[in-house]
C-alpha cells in the first residue's frame, strides 16, 4: 500500500479514488486474515504477532508520518476511516499502531530535525515500535500530577518513576515519556518535558539500563494488545537525541497536542464498534422470529434500530469534522472532544442495544456482540474521560464565543 507522491503530511490532498484504494486493501486483509481468527485470538488474549508484521508491510506504523521520513503521509480523515474499518473487525489492532503514531507525531511536530531524521524512519518501518507513556498510578487525566522525575546530569538526564496502563508497553521498544524536569515550576505544566525513551539502543542493540517492564495488566476487553507498567530507575538518556525539541519545559503541550490525534482515533474506533453493533443487530433482527414474524417487524425493535442508526451516523460525522480540522492545522481540541465523547457513548449504547436485541445469544461468546459490549466502555475512558471531554468542550465554547 503506497501513498500518492504529492501527499506531504496532513495537508495531503487525496482523491476519493486514492482513499478508496487504501480502504479496499485494508478490507480485503480484514476479510482474509483477521476475520477467520479474531474470535479465538481475542478470547485467548494473545498478541497478534503475524498481524503486526502484516501491518508493518502495509505501512500502518507510518500512516500519518510525512513521506519525507518514509511514511504514507495520510490525512487524519483518511486515517480515521481506516481505524473505523479495522475496529469493525477487531478494535484492539488499532491500538497497536495508534499509540505508536501518537509518539511519532510528537517527534515530527516538536522534535529537532536531527531527532526527526533519526527516529521517524525507524518508527515508520516498525523497527522501533512503541507508544505514549503519560499515565501513572496516581495521575491519569490530571497530567500535571505526574511524579516521574528527570534530573539533569551534564548533557544527559537521569529518570526515575513508574508509568502504568501503557499500550505496547511489553511488545513495544520505546515510549514518548512525559516527566517532570522542574518539580517546583508554577504552574506545574511549565516544568514538564518529553523524552523518547527506548528499551534498547537502536545503534548498539544493547538494553538501556534502568528501563524495566513491570506486570502485564489484565483487562475486561481490549484483548490482544499489551497494557503494562513501566519502571524507570536511574535511567540515563542524552538530551540531544532523546529530549524532544532539545529544550526542557515543553512536554505538557506536546502531550496535549498528541491527544488531539488520539481522541480522533478513539472516536474512529468508537464509530467502528457502533457500526458493527448496528450491523449485527440489523441482521439478527431480520432472521430471529417471534410470534410468527421477524423481530425486525416489532415496533420495539424498530425503535432501537432507528436510534442506533442515527447515533452511528452522527458519530461518523463528528469524527469527520474533527479530522478535517486537524488536517487543516486548526486548533481542534473542542472538535476532537465532541467526536470522542459522542462517538464513545454511541458505541456503548449500540453495544448494549445489540446485546438486548440478540437476547441470550448476545451474552454468548459465540457472537461478536459480547466482545463489542466489553470493548466499548474503554472508549469512554481512553485519551481523557468523557467527563473531562465535556469540560473541554464547554471551556472552548465559552472561549470561542465571548460576550
Q: Per the structure block, which three cell numbers stand in for 200? A: 534498547
The Cα 196–Cα 106 span in angstroms is: 10
Catalytic residue (choose from 33, 383, 387, 399): 383
CA-to-CA dists, residue 227 to 70, 131, 137, 302, angstroms: 28, 11, 13, 39
Looking up cell 457500526, which residue turns up? Answer: 275
For residues 146 and 192, is the Cβ–Cβ distance under 8 A?
yes
Q: Is there a catalytic annotation at residue 297?
A: no
Of residues 70, 89, 71, 90, the one with CA closest to residue 79: 71
DSSP letter for each residue of 278-304: HHHHHHHHHH-EETTEEGGGSHHHHHH
- Beta-bridge partners for 176: 132, 196
Of residues 297, 292, 282, 273, the one with CA closest to residue 368: 273
User: What kind and span of H or E run contains 24?
Assistant: helix 16-29
| Beta strand segments in 85-139, E | 130-133
The Cα 171–Cα 134 span in angstroms is: 17
CA-to-CA dists, residue 165 to 218, 308, 309, 342, angstroms: 10, 31, 33, 24
Give me the helix-helix angle, 251-287 and 333-358, nearest 10°. Answer: 30
Query: What is the total residue count of the chain?
Result: 403
Which residue pairs from 200-207 have beta carbons closer than 8 angstroms and sit at least 24 positions apart in sequence? 200/173, 202/122, 202/127, 202/128
The Cα 38–Cα 355 span in angstroms is: 19
- Beta-bridge partners for 211: 232
Looking up cell 499502531, which residue turns up? Answer: 97
- Beta-bridge partners for 130: 174
Burial of residue 28 (CB within 10 Å: 0-12, 13-18, 19+) is exposed
Question: So which residues are the catalytic ones?
Answer: 383
Amino acid at each position: 500500500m503506497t501513498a500518492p507522491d504529492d501527499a506531504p503530511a496532513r495537508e495531503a490532498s487525496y482523491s476519493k479514488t486514492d482513499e478508496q484504494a487504501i480502504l479496499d486493501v485494508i478490507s480485503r486483509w480484514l476479510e482474509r486474515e483477521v476475520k477467520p481468527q479474531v474470535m479465538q485470538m481475542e478470547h485467548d488474549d494473545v498478541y497478534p504477532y503475524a498481524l503486526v508484521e502484516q501491518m508493518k508491510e502495509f505501512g500502518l506504523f507510518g500512516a500519518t508520518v510525512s513521506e519525507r521520513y518514509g511514511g504514507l503521509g495520510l490525512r487524519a480523515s483518511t486515517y480515521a476511516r481506516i481505524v473505523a474499518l479495522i475496529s469493525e473487525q477487531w478494535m484492539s489492532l488499532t491500538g497497536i499502531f495508534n499509540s505508536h503514531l501518537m509518539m511519532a507525531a510528537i517527534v515530527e511536530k516538536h522534535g529537532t530535525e536531527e531527532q526527526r531524521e533519526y527516529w521517524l524512519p525507524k518508527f515508520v518501518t516498525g523497527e522501533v515500535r512503541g507508544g505514549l507513556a503519560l499515565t501513572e498510578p496516581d495521575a491519569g487525566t490530571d497530567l500535571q500530577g505526574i511524579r516521574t522525575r528527570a534530573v539533569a546530569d551534564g548533557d544527559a538526564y537521569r529518570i526515575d518513576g513508574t508509568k502504568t496502563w501503557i499500550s505496547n508497553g511489553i511488545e513495544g521498544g520505546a515510549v514518548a515519556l512525559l516527566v517532570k524536569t522542574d518539580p517546583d515550576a508554577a504552574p506545574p505544566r511549565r516544568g514538564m518535558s518529553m523524552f523518547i525513551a527506548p528499551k534498547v539502543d537502536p545503534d548498539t542493540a544493547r538494553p538501556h539500563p534502568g528501563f524495566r517492564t513491570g506486570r502485564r495488566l489484565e483487562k475486561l476487553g481490549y484483548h490482544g494488545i499489551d497494557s503494562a507498567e513501566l519502571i524507570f530507575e536511574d535511567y540515563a538518556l542524552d538530551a540531544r537525541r532523546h529530549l524532544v525539541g532539545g529544550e526542557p519545559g515543553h512536554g505538557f503541550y506536546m502531550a496535549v497536542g498528541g491527544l488531539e490525534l488520539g481522541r480522533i482515533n478513539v472516536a474512529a474506533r468508537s464509530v467502528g464498534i457502533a457500526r458493527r453493533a448496528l450491523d449485527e443487530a440489523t441482521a439478527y433482527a431480520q432472521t430471529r422470529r417471534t410470534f410468527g414474524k421477524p423481530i425486525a417487524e416489532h415496533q420495539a425493535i424498530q425503535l432501537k434500530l432507528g436510534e442506533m442508526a442515527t447515533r452511528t451516523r452522527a458519530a461518523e460525522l463528528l469524527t469527520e469534522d474533527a479530522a478535517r480540522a486537524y488536517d487543516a492545522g486548526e486548533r481542534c481540541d473542542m472538535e476532537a472532544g465532541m467526536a470522542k465523547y459522542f462517538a464513545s457513548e454511541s458505541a456503548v449504547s449500540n453495544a448494549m442495544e445489540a446485546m438486548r436485541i440478540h437476547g441470550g445469544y448476545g451474552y454468548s461468546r459465540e457472537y461478536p456482540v459480547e466482545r463489542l459490549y466489553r470493548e466499548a466502555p474503554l472508549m469512554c475512558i481512553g485519551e481523557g474521560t468523557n467527563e473531562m471531554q465535556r469540560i473541554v468542550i464547554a471551556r472552548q465554547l465559552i472561549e470561542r464565543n465571548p460576550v
